Amino acid sequence: MRSNKNNTSAYLQGFTRLITDATIGVTDVVESMHNRVVHPPFLPSTPVQHLITNIAGIAYKNIKWSTQFIGGSLDKALRQLSPILGKVNTSEKKEAIRSLLNGVVGDYLEEKENPLQITMQFRYLAKEIPLDRKSIDAAYPKINGKILLMVHGSCLNDMKWTQKEHNHGDALAEELGKTPIYLHYNSGRHISTNGQDLSELLEDLVRHWTVPIEELVIIAHSMGGLVSRSALYYGCQQQQTWTKHLKKMVFLGTPHHGAPLERIGNYIDNILEFIPYSKPFARLGKIRSAGVTDLRYGNLIDEDWQGHERFELKGDQRQHIPLPQQVEFYCIAASSENETARTHARIKGDGLVEVKSALGQHKNPDKNLEFKEGNTWMAFENTHSDLLNNAKVYAKIKEWLIQ
């Protein structure tokens, strides 16, 4: 595990590189917009217009060159300041900002090898658990064979399971005698990529667990549910050992069939792209990560996105991945309305995920997830984040895990 000194230095270096890249990117958008104004679409350009564009181009190049030069100099300076920076303690707020950045542009951070990128790991008490027997024993003095894995959602991290001094994982572990472990991952990567990595990580975990494993239970919030389903799919395909220990999986507000905000964003991208004067701004909308665009319909496997343009306007073309019969699956959907909404033809969702998507229901019956009767529950008067601390939600999860 890296020292706090190196973590802080890398954190600031990462921000420097990100700001540098962002400045250059915005400059490109402004230059493109300037060209659109000077050279109107479908009209011939005069020599004067070309002269204006050439002069402006020199200015834009200078901005980008200066930004790269200053960014590179700051990066080197930060390395030299490591001894001083090491005295700055890593805060929960800093981790939250980093997780948010990974959710929004995590694939970009990974591509550029930016120090801000998050590497998938298991954690407990906000500390990484290396997957060897000595480290696992050190993390859990009272270890047992009942593993409870908590998987966070998009733009969040393992610490965000604690809300209003309550943590579903810790509370369940204490009451039901389980060993809690938390996944920490870059939610901006493709869901299928994270799913495959999680499957491999779980295989290492069960191989190095220091007592016989009795059961593995996964509780996942939002995108975390899709990552968990993806991991289970790939684990079953490869006949990995961990899948034989998995007994139950609980989804909290998981967009099994996608989230409406990402679909709306996709429509806006295409509208901006279609209008000549707004076309440069379409680039800004396309900054969002692969993880975010996977949420459009709930992609689970590589085939759902490979060979496709991420921002192309098209319908749901995913392969249907049914829930395996050997595992008990449960899901909770939240609604901002009160319980009288049960009688409504269309119940409002939690602000981010529609009720039908969270319950695995699709307009095409062949794509329904078919949760068993009694394995679904509605949390009325709750938002998407309320699912992390609501007492009734906790009671329902506890009831299911006791069964």
Q: 252: part of which helix (H) or strand (E)?
A: strand 246-252
**138 domain-assigned:** yes
Q: What is the DSSP letter of 403?
A: -
Contact 162, 130 (CB under 8 A): no
Same domain, 155 and 243: yes
Tell me: do 82 and 132 sit in the same domain.
no
Q: What is the pLDDT of residue 67?
A: 38
Domain termination residue (choose one: 41, 68, 90): 90
CA distances in angstroms from 65 to 14, 72, 80, 268, listed in the order given: 19, 11, 23, 32
Same domain? For 86 and 137 the reply is no
- For residue 275 the two structure tokens come to 């209008």
Q: Output the tens digit of pLDDT for each of the chain's 403 residues.
A: 444 445 555 555 554 554 455 444 444 544 454 454 444 554 455 564 455 455 545 444 543 444 344 344 444 443 444 444 344 445 787 788 788 888 888 888 898 787 888 999 999 999 999 999 999 999 999 999 999 999 999 989 999 999 999 999 999 999 999 999 999 999 999 999 999 999 999 999 999 999 999 999 999 999 999 999 999 999 999 999 999 999 999 999 999 999 987 776 555 544 444 444 444 444 555 667 899 899 999 999 999 999 888 878 788 889 999 999 999 999 999 999 998 877 666 889 998 999 999 999 999 999 999 999 999 999 999 999 999 999 999 999 999 999 9
DSSP 346-388: S---SSSS-HHHHTT--SSGGG---PPTTSEEEEET--TGGGG
pLDDT value of residue 126: 93
Which CATH number is 349's domain given? 3.40.50.1820
**Is 68 among the domain residues?**
yes
Q: Whose CA is closest to 32, among 68, 64, 57?
A: 57
**C-alpha distances in Å from residue 204, one per residue of 121, 145, 198, 211, 289:** 11, 15, 10, 14, 28
Q: Which of 71, 67, 83 is nearest to 114 (CA)?
A: 71
Structural domain boundaries, residue 53? 4-90
Q: Residue 264 is encoded by which pair of tokens?
A: 């709306």
Whole-number pLDDT of residue 285: 55
pLDDT the model gives residue 62: 44
| Of 37, 33, 31, 36, residue with least CA distance to 55 | 31
Q: Could you give the number of structural domains in the chain?
A: 2
* Residue 80 shares a structural domain with residue 125: no
Classify residue 331 by its DSSP letter.
E
Question: What is the spatial distance between Cα 266 and Cα 163, in angstroms, rounded to a whole number?
Answer: 32
- CA separation for the pair 255, 12 (Å, rounded): 34
Query: What does the pLDDT read at residue 49?
Result: 46
pLDDT of residue 265: 55
